[in-house]
A and B are shown apart, each in its own frame.
Chain A
Amino acid sequence: MLGRHARGYAALILIAVLVSTALTAIAWIWRARTLRLLALQGPDYLFTAAQGQEIISISVTPERNLETLEFRFRALVTRDPLSVQRNLSKVTSVQQLLESWPPIAERQQYFSAIGAEALMFVHEVPVTNIEGQRLVLVDFGKVYSSLFDSRHDNESLTAFAFLINETDQIAGYFEGYSDYLVARVERGAQLRRERLLQSVRVQSGDEIVEYASDPTSDQLSIQHDLPPWGQIAFEKPSPDKPYGATLIVKEGNIQVGNLLVTVETYAEGRWYKDASGYWVIRTGLR
């Protein structure tokens, strides 16, 4: 038999173990358990070779039961910021910047005025492939996808982004579409996704669906079948199974200025920054 003191010490140790286990369990319960990033890949250059391919890819796995999981692709093209706003100054606040930028301020104001305000996202994030620079990305894609026909996904401007350098100056401005990949050539003509993408693979758990620009019998069409508005959504994704999208870009020497391609992951309407990618892409001959 243990002595009274020894019993007391043992009990004390046991209580300490119980309490620490309970605390660990509570921390485990409250952990941000939603998504695990499996892959995130994007190029620095596009259309620099006559042949070959580049990949833009994202893959995640849910860590618990989710109602929805969504990837939102946005394709933006560069535009001279001085053609929009001639008085550019140092970016002191994001809000101030957006209010002074007509294409953004007008949309924001209009959607509010008609009571059609919904979700406007403003994300300030580091550029995935450029050290030290950051982006302010403004996305009206969800509002547009509710109000407009899906044929507008490569027609209406729904996304805007500022590239801001370390000294808080605007180093670039982009505007674009809720689409997987679009490039604007001269006089406003576009190279659309069916022209730029060779194939798109969408993985939903164990199932893989492939879209192609020139589909075979077991493939779907990039032009007609790919989910509109650059938004690939999954209903009730299974935990611990992979969900992702891989875009294989056709190469070819096309000089269309800088592009910004983004993919953001949303689970149950919440944005997951760590599972999102933002690539500023140079095009044409290196």
Chain B
Amino acid sequence: MAKSILILITVLLVPEVLGDIKPLVLVGCFDGQTFPPLLCANYTSEMVNLATEAVRANYGDEIEVRSFNDWFFFLDAITMPNVIGAILSLREGLFQIPALRQQELLTYFERGLGLVGIHGVGYYPCVGNISRDIFPIDGNRIIPGKITRNKVTTSRHTHVKYLNHTINAQSPQILDLPDAGLVYKDPIPEGGWWMPEEGNVTVLYVSTTATPSGEVPSVLLYERKSGRSVYFAGLRHIDSTGRYDKDPNWFNHSLAIPELRQLLTSSLVYVLAPFAGKDSLEARMHESSTYLDEKLATLKREVQMGEEALEKHRNRAIINTVLVAIGSGLASIIVGYFGFVRKS
């Protein structure tokens, strides 16, 4: 007979607990060739290490860097109030992120999120308006690349510094990076690259080898309202399935390059800057606590109500039991008196 268990985790929903909320930077590198997209564990782990070092060195230990395996939960968590930034990488797939998610990510980005996006997050067929409003490249084509392990990397792209900025100040003029694909907008507009109507785009690098018809932006910074993002059009990765499991270091083809690590690090540090300072963090965490406290108040009331109802029911039963016991006791005494004590 199957047993039934109920594990009821009732948590103290008191504000003091909420005081322990830690600011979070999320890292998720997913392979969208299947649905739901699968986490590329090796690539993500490497990226978490990189981000942790960068955040610690620049903003201290207070900010936690972590990843989630589950695609859906990653999308849920990225809009939670204690999340201040994320590195999101996606290998494109034959699905599109729902409009609700696109719209929510934009809302939270504009409110203040620091994002680093890699590859597929700029590919319109897969992410929709995210590729226009957050990582604004409006990509609709991917220059495919092929990486053959133990032979040579057959896809390399040359990236040339386009504008000087804090982010690429320490990066070389030319970056030659191996990758498995680069996103761009096709056809390349004659009047200049596609730009969003809102916000400011700064092109940091252009790829000169991706297409024969001209150079295309390959690393760009976007600032829109309170949000900041840096987008890397290349760096497509795949290590979620297949033979790569047997060779967990294969993906290091690009992340092992110090210049790229430096560029990723400075990008993350820059996009987090408005939110990672001590004062901003405190204000944000206070806001998060208030938000969560309000949101959870209903649950708290419900839990209390259930407990109160149960207690009320139990108290009433105890009173009734006592009354019945007293009544029957008294009646028994009377019967006993007339039956055994009183002489007729």
Asked whether A15 lies within 8 Å of B332 as measured between CB atoms, the reply is yes
Contact with A along B301-343 (1 / 0, CB 8 A): 0110111011001000100110011011001100110111000
Asked if A241 is at the interface (CB within 8 A of a chain B CB), the reply is no
Compute how far the CA of A231 lies from the CA of B177 in the bound complex, rounded to whole angstroms: 52
Contact with A along B68-82 (1 / 0, CB 8 A): 111011011100101
Shortest CB-to-CB span from B64 to chain A, Å, is: 9
From B34, B95, B339, A14 is in contact (CB under 8 Å) with: B339
> What chain B residues lie within 8 Å of A152 (beta carbons)?
76, 100
Asked if B98 is at the interface (CB within 8 A of a chain A CB), the reply is yes
From A10, A64, A112, A269, B339 is in contact (CB under 8 Å) with: A10
Asked whether B298 lies within 8 Å of A146 as measured between CB atoms, the reply is yes
Asked if A155 is at the interface (CB within 8 A of a chain B CB), the reply is yes
> What chain B residues lie within 8 Å of A155 (beta carbons)?
98, 100-101
In the complex, which of the residues A26, A94, A271 has the most CB atoms of chain B within 10 Å of its own CB atom? A26
Asked whether B70 lies within 8 Å of A123 as measured between CB atoms, the reply is no
State which of A103-111, A195-203, A222-230, A251-259 sits at the interface with chain B: A103-111
> What chain B residues lie within 8 Å of A270 (beta carbons)?
306, 310
Asked if A18 is at the interface (CB within 8 A of a chain B CB), the reply is yes
Report the interface size class on chain B: 35 or more
Asked whether B332 lies within 8 Å of A18 as measured between CB atoms, the reply is yes
Known: A115-B18, A269-B303. A103 touches B69 (CB 8 A): yes
From B36, B73, B313, A107 is in contact (CB under 8 Å) with: B73
State which of B4-12, B135-143, B195-203, B258-266 sits at the interface with chain A: B4-12
> What chain A residues lie within 8 Å of B310 (beta carbons)?
268, 270
Compute how far the CA of A49 lies from the CA of B331 in the bound complex, rounded to whole angstroms: 68
> What chain B residues lie within 8 Å of A114 (beta carbons)?
18, 21, 80, 82, 288, 292
Asked whether B5 lies within 8 Å of A94 as measured between CB atoms, the reply is yes
From B38, B68, B75, B321, A26 is in contact (CB under 8 Å) with: B321
> What chain A residues lie within 8 Å of B321 (beta carbons)?
26, 29-30
> What chain B residues lie within 8 Å of A25 (beta carbons)?
324
